[in-house]
């Protein structure tokens, strides 16, 4: 029987299998940021251990980084985390992309765009959205702080092997439908726990036709349905994206690498523990109505009613709608929004800004909306300027901010006030995620752009 892509990468990185226990897995790349790494470095310091392979570790601050200016972090806790990361990297000899430098940005945006994340790698980070890097054909997983310490000390990690799932998307997407809509559709179908215990491979003609930015968005959201990892087989789109990147192989090494990368695909006779197929033509622009990413609908549908629900399901829906201030059966299209956010490791790449600009060009931002447009890295910001996208945004009344996680989570100044409704390209709409009491509707860059112009939740196909 043939092997899945996941099995090929996993098996080639096994150091040893513990009898009746986990697998010791070698890790090719560890990413570290300021939030989950301090205790891991303290563990090494307490035990008198050095970082085993510092050249395999890359660190940068992103969660606490302000997007309006980057001279100072006013929050004392956030400032301490960023300063501590810098000191730890200096002490242990780790590559550090400091705040405000051209190399900095959101760690899950910078890794692929610099060619630090490559096909066939095992990649970990103390952050759940590490699954993003699976888009290049890597096995990428979020890990806990104690596991970060494991990797720093040994370049290995103890992991139980997940089951495998393949999600096929076949067909051609409708106009106005993008990768974010695919992810929100899958989560609504499978629920936020539907892939728990699995590593997911995305396949099918729709996936093959996605850009790398789209694939990165889709893989980013794998964790939101409980998956351990999300992976896409590398192909010509992958190779074209990676070629010439700063840390990608060069010359003869590039040719050798590509020859190997071409083998990284599931064999024709590979068997998955679970396989699901969806049709692209069934997917419309999506929005969420609740407080988890799986609580979503097509933008022209209505919020679910309690009809046919169990008592537990009714209670859960009631709690979510009470927080969101929505009602069963309500049509959300046309609902006024207070904040619009474009960015995050989900949708902070150049393609996302191109899409946003394509909608707002020649129009004006609603005066009732506060808009935060935040690139995922300094490279993305420079691309925006080089392509003249910043001029389109400025003419429409938008300000281009500095790279940061920004309003994806309430760990920096870009917090949505209590009770206000934000429509956001980020990955989570949990209670208080964008600020205490803030309400979040997740959507694609196209939907967010249309809503920023009209001041209400808007189907981008209508404008």
pLDDT at 119: 99
Average pLDDT over residues 311-319: 96
Fold entry, domain 163-234+266-282: Aconitase; Domain 2 (3.40.1060)
Domain 5-160 indexed as CATH 3.30.499.10: yes
d(CA 157, CA 160): 10
Domains 5-160 and 286-462 alike in fold: yes
Give the percent of the chain with pLDDT over 70: 100
pLDDT at 4: 98
Return d(Cα 75, Cα 441) in angstroms, integer: 27
Q: Measuring CA to CA, which residue among 142, 118, 366, 156 is closest to residue 243? A: 118
User: Model confidence at 1, in pLDDT bands (50, 70, 90)?
Assistant: confident
Looking at the DSSP bridge assignments, the partners of residue 279 are 170
Angle between helices 38-47 and 76-92 (to 10 degrees): 40
Strands across the sheet containing 163-170: 229-232, 198-203, 163-170, 274-279
How far, rounded to the nearest angstrom, does the alpha carbon of residue 20 sit from its chain's CA centroid? 34
Q: Using CA atoms, how far apart are residues 143 and 231, in angstroms rounded to an integer? A: 17
Average model confidence (pLDDT) across the chain: 97
Instruction: State the DSSP H helix or E strand holding residue 325, giving kind and residue range, or none if neither.
Output: none
Q: Tell me how many helices (H) and strands (E) the chain has.
A: 16, 18
Q: What is the mean pLDDT of residues 282-290?
A: 98
pLDDT band at 455 (very low <50, low <70, confident <90, very high): very high
pLDDT of residue 211: 98
Q: What is the dihedral of CA 152, 155, 157, 163, to 10 degrees?
A: 130
Tell me the domain boundaries of the chain.
5-160, 163-234+266-282, 286-462
- Tell me: pLDDT of 47 over 90: yes
Quick one: what percent of the chain has pLDDT higher than 90? 100
Q: Using CA atoms, how far apart are residues 80 and 89, in angstroms rounded to an integer? A: 14
For the structural domain made of 286-462, what CATH number should be given?
3.30.499.10
Between CA 52 and CA 39 the distance in angstroms is 17
Neighbours of 217 (CB within 10 A): 31
Mean pLDDT of 57-67: 98
Of 32, 88, 95, 89, which Cα lies nearest the Cα of 63? 32
Average pLDDT of the segment spanning 265-281: 98
Mean pLDDT of 365-374: 98
Instruction: Say whether pTM exceeds 0.95.
Output: yes
Residue 228 pLDDT exceeds 90: yes
CA distances from 115 to 99, 210, 324 (A): 20, 19, 40
**Residue tagged 């215990």 (tokens):** 197
């Amino acid at each position: 029987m043939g092997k899945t892509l996941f099995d090929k990468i996993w098996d080639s990185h096994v150091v040893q299998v513990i009898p009746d226990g986990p697998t010791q897995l070698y890790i090719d790349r560890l990413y570290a940021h300021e939030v989950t790494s301090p205790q891991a470095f303290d563990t090494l310091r307490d035990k008198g251990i050095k970082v085993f392979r510092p050249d395999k570790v890359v660190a940068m601050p992103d969660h606490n980084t302000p997007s309006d200016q980057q001279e100072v972090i006013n929050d004392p806790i956030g400032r301490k985390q960023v300063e501590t990361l810098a000191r730890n990297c200096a002490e242990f000899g780790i590559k550090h992309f400091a705040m405000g430098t051209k190399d900095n940005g959101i760690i899950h945006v910078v890794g692929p765009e610099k060619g630090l994340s490559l096909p066939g790698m095992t990649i970990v980070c103390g952050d759940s959205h590490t699954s993003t890097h699976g888009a290049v054909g890597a096995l990428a997983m979020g890990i806990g702080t104690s596991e970060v310490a494991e990797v720093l000390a040994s370049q290995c990690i103890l992991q139980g092997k997940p089951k495998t799932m393949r999600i096929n998307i076949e067909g051609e997407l409708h106009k106005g439908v993008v990768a974010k809509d695919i992810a929100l559709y899958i989560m609504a179908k499978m629920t936020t726990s539907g892939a728990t215990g699995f590593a997911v491979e995305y396949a099918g003609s729709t996936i093959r036709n996605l850009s790398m930015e789209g694939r990165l968005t889709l893989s980013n959201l794998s964790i939101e349905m409980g998956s351990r990892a999300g992976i896409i087989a590398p192909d010509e789109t992958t190779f074209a994206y990676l070629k010439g990147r700063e840390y990608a192989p060069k010359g003869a090494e590039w040719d050798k690498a590509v020859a190997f990368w071409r083998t990284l695909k599931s064999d024709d006779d590979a068997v998955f523990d679970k396989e699901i197929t969806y049709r692209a033509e069934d997917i419309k622009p999506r929005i969420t109505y609740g407080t988890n990413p799986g609580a979503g609908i097509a933008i022209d549908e209505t919020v679910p009613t309690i009809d046919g629900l169990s008592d537990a399901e009714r209670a859960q829906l009631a709690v979510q709608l009470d927080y969101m201030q929505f009602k069963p059966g309500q049509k959300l299209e046309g609902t006024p929004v207070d904040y619009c956010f474009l960015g995050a490791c989900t949708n902070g790449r150049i393609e996302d800004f191109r899409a946003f600009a394509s909608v707002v060009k020649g129009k004006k931002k609603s005066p009732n909306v506060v808009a935060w447009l935040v690139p995922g890295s300094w490279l993305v910001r420079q691309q925006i300027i080089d392509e003249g996208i910043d001029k389109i945004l400025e003419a429409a009344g938008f300000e281009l901010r500095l790279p940061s996680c920004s309003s994806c989570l309430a760990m920096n100044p870009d917090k949505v006030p209590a009770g206000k409704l934000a429509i956001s390209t980020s990955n989570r709409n949990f209670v208080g995620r964008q600020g205490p009491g803030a309400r979040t509707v997740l959507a694609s860059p196209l939907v967010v752009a249309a809503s920023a112009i009209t001041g209400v939740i808007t189907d981008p196909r209508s404008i």
